[in-house]
A = this chain, B = another copy of it.
């Protein structure tokens, strides 16, 4: 038998034993076995429960010692007083990767801290490692495996996630744009966020890694590891506990020391990672990195149906360090001929008057083609309508933008407005390489931070 690395044991286990699993299964039971069945996990699943012989159609062992073989991974969800002993038993069976899910440890009270220390000690004796406690564990959509008792959506997106709370697992779609491979480090009593970052980043399918952290206990190593990874794949960090109140709460949530916020800022910069202030900036940016070509420069072309929208974009661009591209004279020559003579086109390119005469698709297609060709342009923001099907036929540009984005080597973000904005954005999300953003301002922030990452990445690469 080959010796597997810890990253494989935790993230691609060929066998798993759940110690402490609900008696019931089916909807509402929060049974991890149901989760695995739904996901189609193909590895071996063992269950341990002291009082039941069968759960969800699977045989149940009385204790860990009843295992014939070892297992790659154990997921422990038993009352806190029992955990150190069970860790010891798992270690004795040769299980080297352990996940402890329950709360009530260092984040809770003195007794909890004692128990946490005791279980780490037990693991050390057997050369095993603990992820958690106070965690939903791991999730790997590509391997069809997750250790969580909460119902999760499986989606093979090229997004990695390291977080310090289950909310990022259950809410991954809205907080980070989904998760291909994810680890919730919980209290991080042994396996740290930096360990997980290294493990997750090994998967070359990932195009962006999202990190939520409440504290950085090993700052130097974080900078070192993150910098190495950042030169290849962008890391987006939401570090919480910025405020005194938040820092205090972090101490009692995961036992993390939040650290001086300005020091954290400097560390993040040195690490080449992108720090965001808000969850919605995180999801926008991770989504963007996971599907758009890089933003090489800070010059933007705006293709808009609304002058007011163009102004809102310009205001935000100034705030975030982007500039309207000075288009070459040749760029809009053909489109200009479609516009009324009283409407000279510049950037923002307001194509409404032209399209009222010549139709949305023709004007939008020509304009996008021209600006994507212009070497002054590093990225494009589109404003487009999303209406009922009948109106969409004459006023929609969905297909045009999608087609243009297929071969584009510059990032395109689109803001849709109108009665069908949500459906259209969703349709858009599922295909094509452009990104639909929920507000004009968020489109600007996405491109600004992509430009920032690309410029830092080039600096790091030159060192």
Contact = CB atoms under 8 A, between A and B. Distances in A.
A255 to B, nearest CB: 11
A279 B393 CA distance: 28
Nearest to A258: B311
Contacts of A352: 103
Contact of A279 (B30, B249, B324, B439): B439
21 contacts: A27-B391, A28-B390, A28-B391, A80-B342, A103-B353, A104-B342, A107-B307, A164-B308, A165-B308, A165-B309, A167-B306, A167-B309, A167-B383, A174-B421, A240-B308, A242-B315, A243-B319, A245-B317, A249-B307, A279-B441, A280-B441
B319 A393 contact: no
A417 interface: yes
A254 interface: yes
A59 interface: no
A244 interface: yes
A171 B383 CA distance: 12
A56 interface: no
Can you list the 10 inter-chain pairs with the closest CB atoms, starting with the nearest? A27-B390, A165-B308, A253-B307, A171-B417, A243-B318, A167-B306, A246-B315, A246-B314, A245-B314, A108-B342
A394 interface: yes
B441 A278 contact: yes
A4 to B, nearest CB: 31
Interface residues of A, number: 83
Contacts of A164: 308
B308 A168 contact: yes
A158 interface: no
Contacts of A382: none
A441 B316 CA distance: 19
Contacts of A316: 278
Contacts of A393: 27-28
B390 A307 contact: no
A245 B316 CA distance: 10
B165 A307 contact: yes
Interface in A96-110: 103-104, 107-109
Interface string A109-151: 1011000000000000000000000000000000000000001
A175 B415 CA distance: 12
Given A170-B417, A315-B240, A318-B246, A310 B391 contact: no
B151 A419 contact: yes
Contacts of A27: 388, 390-391, 393
Nearest to A388: B151
A315 B253 CA distance: 14
A433 interface: no
Given A310-B249, A310-B253, A391-B28, A109 B439 contact: no
A112 to B, nearest CB: 6
Contact of A306 (B80, B108, B165, B308): B165
